[in-house]
Structure formats: structure tokens, C-alpha cells
Structure 1
Amino acid sequence: MFDFVRNNRRIVQVVLAGIILPFAFWGVDSYINHMGSSNDVATVGGSAISLQAFQQSLQEQQNRMRSAAGRPVPQELLDTPQIRQDVLNGLIDQRLLLLHAAKSGLGVSDAQLAQFIASVPSLQDDGKFSKEKYEALVAAQGMTIDSFEARLRQDMAMQQALGAVGASLPGKGGADRWLAAQLEEREVAEALFKPEQFASQVKLGADAAKAYYDSHASAFQVPEQVRVEYVALTRQGLLGQVSVSDEEAMAWYKGHAEQYRQPEERRASHILILAEKNAPEAAVKAAATKADELLARIRKAPGEFAALAKQHSQDPGSAAHGGDLDWFRRGMMVKPFDDAVFALKEGEVSTVVRSDFGFHIIRLTGVRPERVRPFEEVKGEIVAQLSQQAAGRKFTEAVESFTNMVYEQADSLQPVEDKFKLKPMQSGWLTRDGQGAGPLNNPKLLAAVFSDDVLKNKRNTEAVEMGQDVLVAARLLEHKPASMRALDEVKGEIEKRLIQEEAARLARQAGEAALARTAKAEGGAEIKWGAARSVPRLGAADVGREELQAVFRADVARLPAYAGAVRPDGSYALYRISQVKPFKGEDDSRAQMLRQQYGQIVAGEEFSAWLSTLRQRYKVEIHQKVLDAKEH
């Protein structure tokens, strides 16, 4: 049942990428059970997507876009109606998956959960799982290990629900045609018309640079800039100012004993013969007969259970391990399976059990009785959790005082630095659109540092909320008004640019003229061609996208054929196509990779179709007015 997730992990990761962060902040229960208010952006199946969750996801998407751009991006380009709609669509898809997972009844064993957590690189030291890093991560979110793992189980159960969707294999004929087109090669010779060959023909007028300068004034404007000193009050920063005694930790432990109670766990192995709920009657009967035959063999020779599971079980997740499902708690498996397991005694084998997946034969291999985790085992978790709570209270108590002090004592940040033990920091040069702002790239803060109150009156900014439990205040260090670069300073740059542009135009003109001559019987004989070589449709390192498209768009019914394209550097590339080489090597590693890629494309389309059916099953309502409002 994990085949779809395993074979199409990239597709699933794209869809699920946005879930984990809001998961950690708000939790599964708040996703599923939040029933709405007038400030919700949408409802899905009766459960609401809150404005708070939408704003959190929007901010995360904007941060990803800034990171991908690798340079400052104006805020208005990151908060368009289309981006807001895309973020909401992602949240709706996430909610559909969560609702479907909650109703699917699938569960995750302790071993599967532990393997997932241990595989997270940020929780490892020298390639090995670090319990200390894990506990610190959980505590930083103000959660206990049990509550964090319960929520993580929900996420993994959702992936299992995705696995149940499956993915049919694409037809071989379609795959073969697509593969043949992708792996076709064409033998070409190339002739280049480079701008530098025509640069000497370019003669600029005496006023050309000035005319360009005057008509492109904005390109030579240096924006207004400031440098600021700033301080940040954060919950994480206050952690070092709180402490938790052993007595406080023990008191918490005694008062929350149920939180550390671990219910009974059972370990089982099973043999699954697939027969899904809507399978044809004949297929169901055949599966039931096979399960009965296997059970009879196990009754005669119980020691062969693992071998029979490896040979006959159709559960890809457990068959290779002799059917072992590791440890799990009541309610983690589908109900018929769950009921059967918890009715067995250790070592017993069940009768044939029917579930929506098929027919199971189950052997109970272990029982762990209910227990309460001892204090010493959970002390570190408790101390970390109580420290986070204390820092949170300290932050909440400090917010009003911090806000008032930076406003009332507006000629310096020193008072808040002293009172809250904060270290002052200095920015680089900032612009109104956030260029160079880095961690200070916040619209409200940037508006404040460029306000008259800061620039002219030399006052502190107000305290600005930069994120969850983060307040920042700043004051001016230096200010540079907007200015224009002088013509004398940029004249050389302009003339160089104009010469390059005109030379590129002449190169293209010459190349297109040569291409036109090739259509004539004897045309193009004077063209100096390079050596012929094979170019694959998948591309070559020295052939750009535009050139590649031109070569493979060319009509090759009659050879030689010709094509041309402009390169990014302004050169014009002319190609003579002398041979078409169809793909024949079925064992080629590229063919195997592309067949998998073709399957992923089809699987992605099926996955999108499945999401569409979920939208029909769970009523989706979008509150457009709330979504469109940019200030709340």
C-alpha cells in the first residue's frame, strides 16, 4: 500500500511540502476540528482554514521565493492575487489529504515512526540519530515527545492513505512513442555569426550615449538607502534567562502522569492476499481460497509462517521481513485487523481476517503491557518544555514594556538593551524595496525606518512584530538620499552596451540571410560549417534550449535540412541537419530513466485527478473577500 508514495515520492513531497510547518505550529486537531469564524479564508468538508494558517503559509511561500530568486524581491511582487490564490489552493489540497487520512483508519508502527525520525539529517550527529537534537526540536515547539509523535503519525498516516490510491502503469505503446521522440538524435554541422565579427561596422552618433541615458533614466538612479541599529526581543532569546528546578520538573511530572502513560503495544506478523473492497467477485473468491489454503499450511507447520509470508504475502512493506509489522498500539490499524490482533494471545495465529485491503492471516509475536515512563526517562523533555513555557510567559510579560520603552524613550535603544539584556546589531545598507535587508525584510519595519519620524526626527521605530514571538525595534545610523549616476560616470558602459546590441542585430541579420539562401538550390555554398556531430533531443552541454528547439522543429522530410536560432550571447547559430538517428537501444540507462519519468508524469496526472475527486467529495467554500484583504 506504500507503492504510490515510494514510486512517486517527488510528486508526494511537492504536495506535502507545506504541511509539516503549519502542522508543528497548529497541530492536526486544529486543522481537522477548527469549525470556522468570519475571518476564515475557506472551509473544506466543514472544517475551516483560518486566516492565521493562511498568513503563515503565505509568509513561508514568500520566503521560499526570495530564497529561490537569490536577490531582494519587492514585496508587492510576492503578494499578488495569483500567489495568494496558489497558496490557498495548496492549503485546500493539504486539508483534503488530512481529512481523507483521518477517515482512512491507517496507522504507523513505532518502528516506522522511529525510522522516519532517525532519517532526518538535521536530527543527526555524524550520520547517527541524536536524541538531544530531537528533544530540543520538540521542546522548541512547546510540545512533548508524545504529542509531537502523535501529530507526526497523522502525517505519515496521510502518506499511507496516498499509497492506497495506487498508480496504474502507462500503456507501453504511448511510452514507446514518447521514449523514441525523446531519445532521437540528429547529426548537425554548425556555423556561427558572432556579434564581435560585426562590432567594427557599428558607428555610434555623438549623442547616442546621452540619448540612451535620458530615455533610461531609471536605470541609472541610485535608490535612497539607510543603515540602522536594531534590537530583537524573542522568546528563544529569553530561554537563557529562565531555569527549571528538579522540584518543578517533578511537580509537573506528578501532575501530568497520564501524559507519560504508554498504552499496551503489540507486535504482529501477517500474510496479506490482496482483494480490495470493490474487486470483482471472482477475484475475491480466489483470494479467499488462497488465504484459507495458507492458513491450513500454517496450522500444520506454525514455524513456516515467516517463510510463507516472504513467498506469498502481497504487502510490499512487510513481506520481505517475514510479514513483521513491528510494534503498534490499539487503533493504529484498520478495525478488523486491530480487533483480531488484540483478541489473540502471544504466539497464536488468527483465522482469516477480511479488511478493505484483502485477506490477512495474523500471528501475534509480542505484547508490551501498559506502563508509565519513569521520571528520569522524561526529565529532559519536561525541563525543555517548562523552559519554553517560562520563556513564553517572560516574552508575553515583556512585550508591553518593550513596546512602551522604545516609544517613550525614543532617542535611544540603550534602555531596552539594558533592561532585557539584548545585544544591539547593525544592518547593511537597506532600500525601501528590501534590497540588502536580509532578516529585516519586513514591509512594516522598512516603512518605519524610512518614515519622517526616523529620518528627520531621529526617533526609534515602533516595536514591529517580525514573526511568532519576535519583536524588533530600530533607529537610524546613516542615510543616503536617492541620486542619479552622472552621465560621465556611465557613458563608457552605455556606449559598450549600444555597440553590443547593434553588433548582435547585424549578426542575426547576416545569419537569417544565410538561412534564407540555403532554401535555394545552390545557396549557402559559401558558409563555413564546423565538423558534423550528433545532437540528442535531451540536449548537449554546449547547445542551448532555443538552438535545440530549432534543430528538432526543422522539417527533416528532405535532407539536408536547415535551422537557425539566436543564442543568449547575441550570436546567431545556423545548423545543417544531415541525418536523423532514431533510438534503438532498449537497454540504454537513459531509456530506463525516461520510462520512469514517463510513469511519474502519468502518475502525477492521476494524482491530480484524485485530488479533484476529493474536492467533489468534501465541499470547498472560498471566502474571497477575506483572501483578497492584504491588511488584517
Structure 2
Amino acid sequence: MLELMRKHARNWIMKLLLGIIIVVFVFYFGSLRGREQADTIFILDGKAVYLADFYREYEKLIDLFRNRLGIPLTEEQLKSLNLKQQAFDSLIKEAIILKIAQESGLEVAAEEIQDAITSNPAFLRNGVFDRRLYEETLRLNKMSPEIYEKATQKFLLAKKIEDLVYEGTPVSDSELMDLYRMQKEKINIQFLHLSFRDYLDNVEIKGEKLELYFKEHKSEFTLPEQYRVKYLFFAADDYEPKGEVNLSKEERYKKAMQLALQAAKMAHDTIYQQENFDAYAKEKGFKIYESPFFSAKALPDYFSHLNNFTKEVLTLKEREISRVLADERGYYLFQLAVKKPARIPEFSEVQKDVEKRVREREAQSLCKKEAEILLDRLKKGENIVKIAQEKKIKIEETGFFLPGKEVPHLGILGPEREVLYTLSQNKPYPNEAIPVADGYVIVRFKERGTIDLQEFENSKKDLRKIFQELKAAEALTFFIDGMKERLLKEGRLKIKKTVNDL
């Protein structure tokens, strides 16, 4: 249970939003007739769920997130939210919940269905059920009252299962205190920091080892696409208006930029039509600048400040010209001169990089081994001050902080940070050293901060509701997953498509 609390103590709002408490969308249960067997996603006890059901559920999840977040969702955001998988899992869970309800003999009375409909805020006008609004809403969703009432019955059946699980997951005061501590209690950690760089000189590397490493990791040394560009620069200073002495400095700059832009646009249009970049520059007396080869991830400083440089220039074909780009100094017209494809280099080309990689990896291994030895000595009772003096390592402290991804003086930690929740006076050391950006740290619990007991008492009601929902969701998910495995094993649940097929 502590693991459950650690997992959700700091992000329960997002977990609820993402659907840790199962949401049954009533309109999902509407009738979808006339579909072909080829569209079947899964079959449970002879009843099929179809592709149209999936996309209906998927669209509802998208709408839910759009409404909650208040912003449109891009394709990348949709992928990161994994909504297709959520929609797929939701359909299976809903079908299993209904099956459980039916097999448990649970029923929904006609009065319950009527109460659910007449109290639904979507059908209320001025706080009173409005039949015309009800019928209009159903019509817009292409659903008859009979179908909606049947769907509501199924929804209420599923809700009864959820309520039974919720009522069967009590939360003790000690669990609430543990949850509150994880949210509010700060800790202070001592640590010894071992950097892998201190072990680099201890690494011995033979040439055969380097070549073997390169052979096994060639793709990691792939040289990216390389580009060389030519460009014309229309500097505002070269178009400074002459003879207009009454203009202010700002007005002269603005006028010069306008003239430079006109020249750049004329050059662009002419070169675009005649494909004569070099000839045009020679005719007009413009200097052609040429860059050395560079990659998209290592732009020359004099290009990196230009807006959309990568998009506008590096996506060109060889000898194509870009649109006119600008900075505060003037305007640029680029031609992509040469584009070299990405390639795997010969060992001789990257030997130094390979040696650096292997040396650092070996040093990391030595660093980890040393950290584990020191941690073992500390766990056996040796004094941390004595060991620090022996190894000439400074004992550092994080200061009081709330455990999270980022720890003061240690930076952003990986999943290993969870161990910080478990440390105490009785167990001051973790089982393993914790990896950090440049090596390993051995952490030691020092002290906990105080918590506000009055605030805890005032927040117990809300904490209990949150934690009970988390426990119920965990229990329901565990039960449904077990039921799913049993149904699959018995052949009652047959999955015809996976998310990758949708």
C-alpha cells in the first residue's frame, strides 16, 4: 500500500484525469447495427464490440481532454497521452464490468433509470428536467429514448460494481498520515558523491577492445547529414539612405531595412526564375558567402539566431534557394550547395570518440563498484565521517526538501529516487548507490522536518476521499485484469485486433 501511495501521492489529480477511476460513457452503449464481422475488435461471450465503438470511445477521450485542458491537442500530444490504448482498454474493462454485474445478479430498477435521466444536468433547464431538451440532445447524438434508457441501465449496473469496490476499500488514519507525510514532510539527506571522472586514469584500454566496441555499436556513431550553404547578405548598412539628413537614426535604419528587403526580394525572384545564383551575384557585384559543412544539431553561430533556419534551408534540395530570412542586421538569401547523407563512419574516423566512450563507460563501472563497496561498509556500521576522510570525499547535504524528480545538489534523479521515501533513522541507507549525471552518490538519511498536525486534521476528509478512490481504482483494476486473464484462458474473450491494428 505504501508503494501505491508513493506512486500517486504527488500527482493524484492527473491520475484521476487520465482515467484511473474508470469512467463509463453512457453514449458508448448506443446501438450500432449493420457492421461487418471484419470490423470486430473483440468478442465477449458471443457479443462483439466493433471498430466504430472504438473510434467513438477514442473521440470522447479526445473531447474530454480538450475540455479539461482548455486547449486543442496536437498529434504529438495525442500520442504522448496514449489515448488509443486508453480507449481500447476502456472498452474491454467496460464489457467485463457489465459481465460481472450481470453474473452477480445486480439489477437496476426502472425508478433508478428515470431518476438518473431526470437529474442529469445535461437535460435540466433552470434546475428542472426539460423533456424537449432531453429529446433534442438525444436527436443530436442520433439516439432514441429507448436506446438511451437501455444505455443508462448498463451504466448504472457498472456504477454499482464500482460503488461496491469503493465501499469495500476502507482507509485507516495511519494510511492517511503516511499519505500526508509523503505530500508534506521534508527530509534532509547526507551524501557522498563519487564522480566517474576520478576513475578515468585507472582505465586501461587496448586497441582490440575499441574496435570490438565500435563493431557492436556502429549505429551509435552514425555521422548525421552534413550541409554546406551559399548565401547572399543584404546588410542594412549597405542601404543607408544618402542625402536625407533630416531623418532620425531610427528612421534611417527603418528606411535602410526596407531598401535591403527590396533588393533581397528582387534577387530571390530573379534567381528562382533563372536558376542563376552565382551569375546573378557576379552581375550585381554581391559577395557570395559559403559555409563549411555542418549538421542540423550543430549550426554555425551565425545561422543559429535566424528564425526557421533549419526548416527553411536544410529541407531544400541541392541548388534550391530559400525564402528571404532576416535578422536585425539585414536579410539573407540561401542556396543549399551540398547535402551529404548520414553514414556510418570508418573506425579510424571516430577512433577518438570510441575511446572516449569506452573509457567513460569503464570509469562508470569502476565508480559504481567503489560506491557499492563503500555503501556496504557503511551498512555494516562504519562511520561515514571516517570513510569520507579516508577517501577524501566531502560529506554534503541536500538540505530539507520534498522528495521528487529533482533533488537539491543532486539534480534530476531516475526511478531510484523512490528509495528516498523509505529512508529513516532505523534504515538510513538504501540497498544500492544512486546513479547521477556524472557518477554515483551514497545517500544517508539525516532527519525529517516537522509536519502541521492541525493541517492534517483539517484535510483528513479530502485525503480520505482521494486515497479511497486510489485504492478502489487499484483494486478494481487488479480484479478486472484477473477477470480478463480468466476469460481469455476460458476462450470466452477473443481479441481480434490490437491497438497497432487501429
TM-score band w.r.t. shorter chain:
0.3 to 0.5
